[in-house]
Amino acid sequence: MKPSRLLWFFATATGLLFAAAPPAIDAEQPTVMTALKSTWVRSNGNQENLLVLDQAVTLTGTNLRITCDHLEGVVVGLGDKSVTLTNHDKFKSLVVTGHVHIAQNGREASCGRAEVFPGEDRIVLTETPVLTANNGEGSLIQEGSMITITRGIVEVTNPKITIPELKALGVDPKVLSAPAK
């Protein structure tokens, strides 16, 4: 890979992996959550509600898919009688655990636990987190003990970063082994 291609790869992969907002899409999709068991718990004067989903949990939405074993979401505003349905931005937090896999816009994350704070544009991945982006030239893979993504900024604790193979930047070995003229 030439140095200019290497810079292009990093710029593209970093943009894919850490973009603050997903690219425009053709149609919005409702958020759909499925599981083998669910529980709603109303609390705090019906202003905050806890949604618990267990076993084979899947959450799909516009250009997003999350699978895990367990999901807990704090939903605010459901007790407001003037609102028939809450908006997706009414999720105060989501905690997903157990075989977590998140896919969005060609980016993927896997870990044992993910905490999502929509109002803060922040995601915290723990329990062996791995973040992967593919730009067509190869994959950029980041691993660590904790990965925090906040508005497009990624912080990795104890990072290990894997990029596609770098070609030798020195003299071509064929030139060195050619007979002298």
Q: Output the pLDDT for position 12.
A: 38
**CATH homologous superfamily of 3-177:** Lipopolysaccharide (LPS) transport protein A like domain (2.60.450.10)
Over the stretch 47-88, which tens digit does the pLDDT of each residue have?
Answer: 788 889 999 999 998 888 999 999 999 887 655 555 444 444
**pLDDT computed for residue 147 by the predictor:** 96
Spatial contact of 35 and 66, defined as CB atoms under 8 Å apart: no
For tokens 């104890």, name the residue: 158
pLDDT at 1 over 90: no
The answer to whether 47 and 76 have CB atoms below 8 angstroms apart is yes
Residue 176 has pLDDT above 90, yes or no: no
> Given this model, what pLDDT does residue 108 score?
93
**Res 114 pLDDT > 70:** yes
Distance from chain centroid for Cα 56: 19
The band of 46, judged by pLDDT with boundaries at 50, 70 and 90, is low
Q: Report pLDDT for 166.
A: 76
Closest CA to 119 of 97, 96, 93, 95: 93
Collapsing DSSP states into helix, strand and coil, what is residue 55?
strand
Minimum mean pLDDT among 16-25, 49-58, 102-111, 154-163: which range?
Answer: 16-25
- pTM of model > 0.75: no
pLDDT tens digit string along 120-149? 889 999 999 999 988 777 789 999 999 999
- Higher pLDDT: 111 or 43? It is 111
